[in-house]
């Protein structure tokens, strides 16, 4: 499941609902459009932070850095806690794991798209000026 985590993106499963009640995060899996009330999960502060972050796809490194900052723990402890949480959530179907793209590569793709669009616009302007 967690092989090559720096290349993976983690996010919440789409088949759950969650709410924060009295500072505690409660998660209920949805099966067949009905909440599975026999499988309610409750998260402590660290779990709640990670769950909140998983609202959008995140890398393992990002999750670890956020836990380090929030709880002022060393990287080894943050990594241990985050990895355990991700393993636990994946084992009960609350986590989706997707292949990710390296940040530098995605930034290059965005730059290439902007440059291509800019060149296309310049070409269009030059063509219309010739008419």
Percent of the chain with pLDDT over 70: 66
In this predicted structure, what is the pLDDT of residue 22?
A: 79
**Strand ranges, E, within 22-128:** 24-31, 34-35, 41-43, 95-99
In this predicted structure, what is the pLDDT of residue 70?
A: 95
- Check if CATH label 3.90.930 holds for domain 5-100: yes
Q: Domain extents for the chain? A: 5-100, 101-131
Residue 130 has pLDDT above 60, yes or no: no
The model's pLDDT over 34-91, given as tens digits with 9 standing for 90+, comes to 555 557 788 888 999 999 999 999 999 999 999 999 999 999 999 999 999 999 999 8
Within 13 A of 128's CA, how many CA atoms are on the CB side? Answer: 5
């Amino acid at each position: 499941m967690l092989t090559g985590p720096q290349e993976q993106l983690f996010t919440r499963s789409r088949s759950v609902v969650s709410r924060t009640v009295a500072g505690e995060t409660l998660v209920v899996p949805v099966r067949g459009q009905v909440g599975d009330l026999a499988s309610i999960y409750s998260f402590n502060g660290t779990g709640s932070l990670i769950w909140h972050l998983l609202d959008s796809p995140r890398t393992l490194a990002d999750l670890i850095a956020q836990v380090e900052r929030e709880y002022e723990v060393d990287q080894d402890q943050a990594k241990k806690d985050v990895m355990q949480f991700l393993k636990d959530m994946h084992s009960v179907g609350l986590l989706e794991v997707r292949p990710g793209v390296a940040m530098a590569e995605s930034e290059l793709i965005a730059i290439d798209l902007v440059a291509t669009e800019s060149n296309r616009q310049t070409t269009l302007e030059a063509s219309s000026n010739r008419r």
